[in-house]
Amino acid sequence: MAPSRKRAPRRPRYRVVAYELSGERATVIMDATGAGFIAAIGTIAEGRMRAEVGSAGPTQLQAHIALLIANEDKQAYPQPAGRRLPR
């Protein structure tokens, strides 16, 4: 009998959906699925900010997502030479 192979556990995937709420209307402005995410929402009222942040997924992927957010104004996401993003 051949030894049984253990399957690597499947990594979870995440789905983030964001809505624009206007009166009675809710319009989807983002609907994305991936191996990791960082999401934040905030409101400024009376000079104070209230915010909620959520994140999940591999730490290295979250670091790349954070860089992408920080460099959003650039045309292409810069990748270090010789390194590929994890899949």
Judge whether 6 lies within some domain: no
Task: Tally the domains of the chain.
Answer: 1
How many C-beta atoms surround the C-beta of residue 39 within 10 A?
Answer: 14
Counting residues of the chain whose pLDDT is more than 70, the rounded percentage is: 80
Judge whether 58 lies within some domain: yes
What are the angstrom distances between the C-alpha of 64 and each of 43, 73, 76, 77, 79?
25, 15, 13, 9, 9
pLDDT tier at 8 (50, 70, 90 boundaries)? confident
Round to whole Å and give the CA distance between 18 and 44. Answer: 19
Q: What phi-psi label fits residue 57: left (phi over 0), alpha (psi between -120 and 50 degrees) or beta? A: left
Domain limits for position 66: 35-75
Structural tokens at position 76: 């292409």
**Model pLDDT for residues 49-79, shown as the tens digit of each residue:** 999 999 999 999 999 999 988 887 665 555 5
